[in-house]
Structure 1
Amino acid sequence: MTAHLLDDSPLTGHHKRLITACSGGPFLDGFLLTIIGVALTGAGEDLALSASMVGVVGAVSLIGLFVGSLVFGPVTDRIGRRVMYTADLVALIVGSVLCLWVDAGWQLIVLRFVIGAAVGADYPIATALLTEWMPRKYRGAMIGLLSAVWLIGAVVAYLVGYVLTSVYGNGSWRWMLASGAVFGVIILLLRLGTHESPRWLIAKGRVEEARTAVSQVLGREVTTAEISALAVAEEPKRKAGFTTLLRGVYLRRVLFCGLFWMCFAIPQFALFTYGPIILSHLGFGDDTAGATLGQIILNLGFLIGSFPGMRWVESRGRRPLILGSFFLGALALIPLGVWPHAPALFIMVFFMLFAMINGAGNILVFIYPNELFPTQLRASAVGLATAVSRIGAVIGVYLVPVALDGIGTGPTMLIGAGITALGFVISFFWAEETRDRPLAGVSASRPAAPATLTGS
């Protein structure tokens, strides 16, 4: 078998720098989407937000994420990954800084929408660029790493929120929301000088630019014959536009990616956004700082679980990981629904179990949509799958405070278990095995037959 110039390339210094730069986006995404959970207590007091308004503030970033991913995914496929790679960060930085001057609920809603739209744009940009450069030996683990870094951003958000709340009280919420700009500037600097995706350049007929980029990354002069062979391997069998995603096997794949992502995201975003509130309802922590400390511990569970997930996704396969995560995750939430007034230790044990299980499977939310679609549709598909997932996430996050007040914590946890079980059913019928397959082959329009539970 002839070696593929990109799929079978060694892992170079540029690959490692690209991993760091691409990880910055998910880190900032996790930070910005999570810090609102801590800031809401102080913001709600200072801005006199009603319970329904709190729900809107918590959910509006996801609405922005829906719009941003749906709009900027196709834009990224059209004008390139590198241009969009830094533009979205500028919007994140500006939106975060402006939070310092918020003095009304509607202003906070507008800024959180803008930040969410920029976050939604970054999902297809960074993940597509990394996918198209990575050797297949490392592809799953490195794309999955983006989800782990998202979790690191979420943990850092709670640490920042905990420190600011402990020292300055709930009135520090504006500084919490603005602190994302500091990380944004650092990440923006890291992304300067990134090479454009050679697969995208080839898809656009810019073969010589692709040859130059690959030569610089591999540290040797790539010949015309090598880049021509790559162009033949990457050449689309037919032209495809956004509407291609709305029919046939690609529609099924979009629905699969969006729906399983939704089933991971609803309980996860609920915990990230309202973790302190939920833990307070369950009796963990008598004040905001105590509940936030419990949330930090809980979020570390999501992060810890992602690391064995990155190993299993390559050693066991994508399909066994997604099925196991949904099945065991549902089982972990049931005791919390059945016994919501259990001792604090019991509550934290099962929350930690769910967090670790969810964290392991959650690395697939970037892997599957990037592997299942061709280069000319990849960013559009990731954007569309993100948008589908956020329809349910917006509804779920908005309804969490309503459900906690209306039906109680126990039934709310059981609903989360049901949503997780639904993810298992969807994945059982639709999840394909994409491990160790060439990117151009796995994204072909003919689907692979689902593998067995062992991933064989």
Structure 2
Amino acid sequence: MKTDRASDTAGSVVRATLDSARLNGFHRKLALYSSGGPFLDGYILSIIGIALVQIGPQWQMDSLWSGLIGASALVGVFIGGAVFGPLTDRIGRKLMYTIDLIAIIVCSVLQFFVADAAQLFVLRLLIGVAVGADYPIATALVTEFAPKAWRARLVGGLNAMWFVGATVAAFVGFFLLNVDQGWKWMLLSSAVPALLIVIARTSIPESPRWLHSKGRDAEALEVLRATIGEHATLDDLPEAETKTPMSALWRGGYLKRVVFISIFWTCTVVPLFAIYAFGPQILELFNLGGGNLSHLGYGLINFFFFVGNIAALLLVDRLGRRPVLIWGFAISAAGLFYLGLQPGAALWLIALAFAVYAVFNGGPSILEWIYPNELFPTEVRASAVGLCTGISRIGAAVGTFATPWSLANLGLSATMYIAAGIAALGAIVSAFMAPETKNVDLHVASSLS
């Protein structure tokens, strides 16, 4: 079979494989289009925190409904990842790559017409399902096309777009808060980038690794030759007969990987999503501006999260996955601990502590997507990413739902201490369980041998 794949190569011709290929325009285009999903996730989650500033008083919403609506999209992500990850492994990446965004467009438009909290909760839940479906689809596609030397940066870079989306949402919300019924336009606005992204994604082909895993080598080779060069070959892939069943995720070495990824991912997103969903309210408690000004500060914190992601992307292939993850957790925990210890400190110190947390959170954030895509084989990659995404979002949903209660009943300092403890737990678990996959071929990183 291997000789058949390479029959068109001869003599001194250099054959390109998926892992050895040079970065080209297709890889960049794929990464850009795939980043639309995390952009929308960051935008959708962040815009609701600002919209609730108008919706709450208008609907006389209590903390229960505020928490439910803030957490609804996260619950939806759990459902979407758990259901559509395995479906993506079964029917392929390409089809699901556009369907999920069409669902986001429809639900975003319907949000404009909601009349009560229950309707908004349902639509936010459905949007979350679509976002959760996109995580395993988009990240699997990028991982399965990316050259080894660029894999971490291309996959991790997708997560950086989450913060771009959140930053854009903060500034959109800042301006629309001055508009009557501005919250309707905030929630509708996510349909615009979703429409542009779904149009762009129609040009992306199916994953050659997935095609090969299904024994469709001729199609896989055709895709490779169209995307990485006419001398492309599948020689670096394991034989298609080597299968990893879905049940493998629930036992042995792969179960250990599921546990590790789920814990560190949860420890990353619980404090992060709580801050995003209720950022303006939290900043006001720290006296970092009041009213609409706090939303501008919220956007600047989002910018620091983005800077942290970029810094981590530059370091992850130099220092390795483990140190970027462990130290990222440890130092971001210190920033949160200071916020709990000194909530009345000088404003510049509060701002600095937020910046420290946001910048060093970049390491764990980019590895949320690098690790699960590297540590599982093609046959179950989307399923594993969906499973780990879903588990992490259960914790994030609980944290987001509990944040307004914690702020009201435990106080600001206790809430920050809890967030710091969660980040510290991430550092401890990572120190014991995180593997190093730097400079390792994808099929080797994903195997247990």
- Residue in structure 1 matched with residue 27 of structure 2 by the alignment: 15
**Contact preservation (8 Å) 2:16, 2:228:** no
Deviation, 1:221, is: 5.1
- Residue in structure 1 matched with residue 198 of structure 2 by the alignment: 188
Residue from 356, 360, 365 that aligns with 1:357: 360
For the aligned residues, what is the CA RMSD?
A: 1.3
Identify unmatched segments of 5+ residues in structure 2: 1-13
- 1:433 paired with 2:447, answer no
- Residue in structure 2 matched with residue 452 of structure 1 by the alignment: none
Deviation, 1:344, is: 2.2
Aligned partners of 1:117, 1:343: CA distance in 2, in Å?
41
Give CA deviations for 1:337-373 in whole Å, capped at 9, x if unaligned. 0111223222111011110111233111000000000
Summarize the alignment of residues 31-430 of structure 1 with structure 2, pairs less than 5 Å apart: 31-165=43-177, 167-168=178-179, 171-220=181-230, 222=232, 226-227=233-234, 229-230=235-236, 233-235=237-239, 238-287=242-291, 289-430=292-433
Deviation, 1:271, is: 1.1
Deviation, 1:426, is: 0.8
Give CA deviations for 1:128-160 in whole Å, capped at 9, x if unaligned. 000000000000011110111111001001011
Deviation, 1:219, is: 3.4
Q: Kindly provide the amino acid, as one letter, of the partner of residue 116 in structure 2.
A: A
Deviation, 1:47, is: 2.1
Deviation, 1:237, is: 6.7
Aligned partners of 1:234, 1:17: CA distance in 2, in Å?
27
Give CA deviations for 1:206-264 in whole Å, capped at 9, x if unaligned. 11100110011123254xxx34x34xx33267432322101111011011111100000
Aligned partners of 1:3, 1:325: CA distance in 2, in Å?
39
**Contact preservation (8 Å) 2:329, 2:364:** yes
Give CA deviations for 1:136-189 in whole Å, capped at 9, x if unaligned. 000001111011111100100101101111x315x3101101100000011111
Give CA deviations for 1:100-136 in whole Å, capped at 9, x if unaligned. 1011110000000000000100000000000000000
TM-score of the pair, normalised by structure 1: 0.93
Between the two proteins, what is the percent identity of the paired residues? 44
| Secondary structure, aligned partner of 2:316 | helix
**Contact preservation (8 Å) 2:244, 2:377:** no
**Contact preservation (8 Å) 1:47, 1:103:** no
| Secondary structure, aligned partner of 1:101 | coil
Aligned partners of 1:87, 1:284: CA distance in 2, in Å?
41
**Contact preservation (8 Å) 1:262, 1:388:** yes
Deviation, 1:430, is: 0.6
Deviation, 1:4, is: 6.3
Aligned partners of 1:411, 1:294: CA distance in 2, in Å?
22
**Contact preservation (8 Å) 1:329, 1:358:** yes
**Contact preservation (8 Å) 1:202, 1:234:** no
| Secondary structure, aligned partner of 1:129 | helix
Aligned partners of 1:252, 1:4: CA distance in 2, in Å?
34
Q: Kindly provide the amino acid, as one letter, of the partner of residue 210 in structure 2.
A: W
Q: Kindly provide the amino acid, as one letter, of the partner of residue 154 in structure 1.
A: A
- Residue in structure 2 matched with residue 445 of structure 1 by the alignment: 448
| Secondary structure, aligned partner of 1:8 | coil
**Contact preservation (8 Å) 1:301, 1:359:** no
**Contact preservation (8 Å) 1:128, 1:379:** yes
Give CA deviations for 1:386-422 in whole Å, capped at 9, x if unaligned. 0111121111111000000001000100000000000
TM-score of the pair, normalised by structure 2: 0.95
**Contact preservation (8 Å) 2:107, 2:123:** yes
Q: Kindly provide the amino acid, as one letter, of the partner of residue 432 in structure 2.
A: F
**Contact preservation (8 Å) 2:41, 2:165:** yes
**Contact preservation (8 Å) 2:78, 2:389:** yes
Q: Kindly provide the amino acid, as one letter, of the partner of residue 240 in structure 1.
A: T
Deviation, 1:43, is: 1.3
**Contact preservation (8 Å) 1:37, 1:58:** yes
**Contact preservation (8 Å) 1:307, 1:360:** no
**Structure 1 moving runs of 4+ over 3 Å:** none
Q: Kindly provide the amino acid, as one letter, of the partner of residue 377 in structure 1.
A: V
Aligned partners of 1:310, 1:210: CA distance in 2, in Å?
29
CA shift in 2, pair 1:101/1:201, >3 Å:
same
Aligned partners of 2:71, 2:244: CA distance in 1, in Å?
34
Aligned partners of 1:387, 1:265: CA distance in 2, in Å?
12
**Contact preservation (8 Å) 1:255, 1:388:** no
| Secondary structure, aligned partner of 2:278 | helix
